Structure 1
């Protein structure tokens, strides 16, 4: 994925990956400060905590491991339910030193500081509990769980033991979304009024996959990255209601059991709101996922997963940022780097499991609304 610069617009160079410093390598044109906020993955200085991957399947081998290799993360070992899944991993990723024979063996390894749990959702909380019992910090795949009450005792256990549990909300570190977040935090568009997302691209294969067996899958799983980043941009506001619906679309094959269109709407008590829309399995030569964040003082416009770009309109000035990196794999480096910084700095990661609860509650409210045919669901929570 690449991003271009519009003719005649202001141009700001992207922020590269600066291990330790967290700052952009060069200044650019941006509102107010004259520099672009850093948005790349950040790792702590000095020796990094050591990692083992529990559930080293396709996503771990195509995203986690390449991201970690790019940032010199020491991956002590890996495990998968099927030995053949991981037998070529050490050859393709020479930094991986061990293929563990069992979950128990991996968790007992004294060299492991962080367990990256990339198993399917079923049984994930049990793996988190076992990792905490073994004294390990945890990075867990999203959705962490749809059982929020079952999560709370694990959060309490982690606090008692001084362990950190983070969630792999890697979309937060997609360059466009990450820089948008930094600009919003810096006040570039004032108070956020509205967030809009459109999924203008084909859906991934769903029919005949395990995702087809997940009720309201687009709402409860696929859109979770979009729900989570929207919550980041509305942070500090009070939710009033959530409404969602999903439906089959013309041309959807009978073998595809889940609906292929979905929308989620969030309304806040101050009138701000958000709308997320998947129209179906879009037919287009120019796939993208455009988004807009409107504020009292300006507007951010961008796109991810195709036609990648971000621009800030404020007053008479429009700044289009020449971004570096891409969601895959920088997002996966970003979540691990933030967890490692939190471990070294003895603080909670910004992508902590406790912080993720609000995203889960939004998702569950959306699921309940979809199950009720789009009924409005009250949800008095703070974002």
Structure 2
């Protein structure tokens, strides 16, 4: 079988909309702006409560404006899209203000801390005929992007099982802001992997979720966030998805292998490794490995912004719209709820609350 596969970001054919960025922290400096610079996007200006961070970004990436306030950024007629890359607690309020200012929004994930707020923001964007997208940049990470296209084109038939493994070591988290985030491995880090499961089993009714978090035996006393966890997602037709975080791996081949088993084949791959990323399809006794043209960082971040800009130009809903990613948020919050009760099953009806 022949498949149409392309893991590169796509951008509008017409003019590039002006982009304003709120938040000039590590992720903006190492991913957002390198991606936007690489693909020639139109960055009008930035704002951050830290003037030093803002000036550093302005000088390093030759950004035209460093705004004195977030209101000044919202007031700029040159800005059509606002990229919100702040800490989670501030995002919902900034999204609302951006929508009220008539701006399209790309929000870092998660775009809300609870389902009620998420629904309200989606309704506000739709009421104003504006686009609210979520920076689920893992969807454009090359191995996952190719995998999604293979699934959508029926390469393995019906998806029966998804398995993710974090074959890595989380000692880098100790002493960082991530170390203080409740349910960090699920809520912040694991959300990308949960979102991938949502994309690959999107039309299959979900029935229940379980999750557990635990400290690994060699985890240092000063670290706060659990390095070990697992999440289990059960579907009405018997399909099953699992994420397992080892978190204490001593491997030098650091990575995140994954497997999709279907009725007609298997997809194997690995992501976010040290030069070990790949994706391979096995079907009818033949294995095919596909070339990857980019990397999650920074190309995945170009993918999210490019898809948003294309959706605006083409007057359609983007693939990573807040409405489409709502199930991923719902699944993540349910997994956190289960982890708080040591792996207790959370039925789908409770997830919707």
- TM-score, normalised to structure 2, is 0.96
Describe the SS at the equivalent of 1:201: coil
Preserved contact between residue 212 and residue 339 of structure 2 (Cα < 8 Å): yes
After superposition, give the CA deviation of every residue in 1:218-244 in whole Å (9 maximum; x if it has no partner): 112110000001110111000011000
Describe the SS at the equivalent of 1:145: coil
Cross-structure match for 2:129? 162
Displacement of 1:207: 2.2
Number of residues of Structure 1 aligned to a counterpart in Structure 2:
349
Higher mean C-alpha displacement, 35-44 vs 156-165? 35-44
Displacement of 1:210: 2.2
After superposition, give the CA deviation of every residue in 1:241-283 in whole Å (9 maximum; x if it has no partner): 1000011111211211221100000000000010001012321
Describe the SS at the equivalent of 1:123: helix
Residue 320 (structure 1) aligned to one of 289, 293, 298:
289
Cross-structure match for 1:108? 75
Decide which structure has greater helix share: 2
Describe the SS at the equivalent of 2:172: coil
Cross-structure match for 1:362? 331
The aligned runs of 1:16-27 (5 Å cut-off) are none
After superposition, give the CA deviation of every residue in 1:116-154 in whole Å (9 maximum; x if it has no partner): 000000121000000001000000001112211012222
Unaligned runs of 5+ in 2: none
Residue 220 (structure 1) aligned to one of 148, 169, 187:
187
Residue 58 (structure 1) aligned to one of 26, 39, 46:
26
Q: Distance in 2 between matches of 1:240 and 1:89?
A: 45
Cross-structure match for 2:347? 378
Displacement of 1:204: 5.7
After superposition, give the CA deviation of every residue in 1:20-39 in whole Å (9 maximum; x if it has no partner): xxxxxxxxxxxx23x54222
Cross-structure match for 2:211? 244
The aligned runs of 1:1-383 (5 Å cut-off) are 32-33=1-2, 35-94=3-62, 96-203=63-170, 205-306=172-273, 307-380=276-349
Q: Distance in 2 between matches of 1:318 and 1:206?
A: 37
Displacement of 1:212: 2.1
Q: Distance in 1 between matches of 2:313 and 2:31?
A: 24
Q: Distance in 1 between matches of 2:121 and 2:242?
A: 32
Q: Distance in 1 between matches of 2:208 and 2:294?
A: 35
Q: Distance in 1 between matches of 2:206 and 2:5?
A: 28
- TM-score, normalised to structure 1, is 0.89
Describe the SS at the equivalent of 1:294: strand
Preserved contact between residue 218 and residue 248 of structure 2 (Cα < 8 Å): no
User: For the aligned residues, what is the CA RMSD?
Assistant: 1.3
Q: Distance in 1 between matches of 2:183 and 2:57?
A: 34
After superposition, give the CA deviation of every residue in 1:65-108 in whole Å (9 maximum; x if it has no partner): 111111110000011111011213233212x2101111011111
Q: Distance in 2 between matches of 1:153 and 1:63?
A: 29
Preserved contact between residue 39 and residue 182 of structure 1 (Cα < 8 Å): no
Unaligned runs of 5+ in 1: 1-31
